[in-house]
Amino acid sequence: MSIIQPNPKLNVICEDGPVIAVNKPSGVISQGAPAGMQSLAEQVKDYLRQKYNKPGNVYLGIPHRLDRPVSGVSVFTRNSKSAARVSDQFAKRQVTKTYRAILEHIPSQLEGTLEDWIYRIPDQSRVEIRKQNTTGAKEARLRYRVLSEHQGRALVEIDLDTGRMHQIRIQFASRGCPVIGDEKYGAKSTLGNPAAIGLHAWRLSLTHPIRKEAMSITAPLPQAWKQFGFDLNRL
């Protein structure tokens, strides 16, 4: 029998009973990677097999997913009951999702609320801002504040009130402030990695599925962001 070795690149940031969270790197697919590529979920399964000496298949609940170019907190569960409870929190918007992003330009207001209606283009992995009465358009709302500015760019903190596809990316891009590296929505600058954009799921706050206590999980910002002159240690 072969010995399963843990992925040295897997950054586990929280293990609390049935809850396990990792800091997902940009460019890694959360689930369902094509042949020859290992998804984040498969990496976590390998980690659990090795840690708990389970050579066969292991259960892994996936209550949410980050887009491939996005980094940050990704939460999984080790049993179906906890998976259902955490998934229910996401569905009912009981999970507080705080992101941080580097924008190519500084917003006209240093803090505020963005409200739009987002329409997912059929058969395409992209969205558009549409009028409220557009069939299929869904309300999107977020709150943000600028944490730091450097050479015309802004590092912002974002609290999502809704969780629409590409919401942060399109809402800022539509106001002339695309996320760095996000060429899909008009960005001109890159992070040096074509699979990465400057968007990071910085903190998730939820209720522990067993103890029913509040828990908050934070993922350190990517070191690649230092190239833009922001002091990550002070943020």
Asked whether 185 and 178 are in contact (CB, 8 A), the reply is: yes
Mean pLDDT computed over 152-178: 97
Mean pLDDT computed over 150-174: 97
**Per-residue confidence at 232, pLDDT binned at 50, 70, 90?**
confident
In this prediction, residue 3 carries a pLDDT of 39
In this prediction, residue 7 carries a pLDDT of 55
Mean pLDDT computed over 174-194: 94
Cα maximum dimension of the chain: 60
pLDDT tens by residue, 40-92: 999 999 999 999 888 888 999 999 999 999 999 999 999 999 999 999 999 99
Which structural domains are found in the chain, ordered by start? 12-234 (3.30.2350.10)
Q: In b/e form, how buried is each residue of 64-91, taking b as 16+ CB within 10 angstroms?
A: bbbbbbbbbbbbbbbeeebbebbbeebe
pLDDT tens by residue, 108-157: 999 999 999 999 999 899 999 999 999 999 999 999 999 999 999 999 99
Asked if residue 229 has pLDDT above 70, the reply is: yes
Q: How far is CA 91 from CA 73, 85, 126, 208, in A?
A: 18, 10, 22, 15
Q: For the whole model, what pTM was predicted?
A: 0.93
In this prediction, residue 111 carries a pLDDT of 98
pLDDT tens by residue, 5-45: 445 579 999 999 999 999 999 999 999 877 777 899 999 99
**Angle at alpha carbon of residue 15, lines to 53 and 71, rounded to 5°:** 110
d(CA 30, CA 38): 9
Mean pLDDT computed over 195-216: 97
Asked whether 99 and 45 are in contact (CB, 8 A), the reply is: no
pLDDT tens by residue, 203-212: 999 999 999 9
The mean predicted confidence, pLDDT, of the chain is: 93
What residue type is 38 in one-letter code? Answer: Q
pLDDT tens by residue, 100-109: 999 999 999 9
d(CA 158, CA 189): 21
Q: Is 74 helix (H, G, I), strand (E, B) or coil?
A: strand
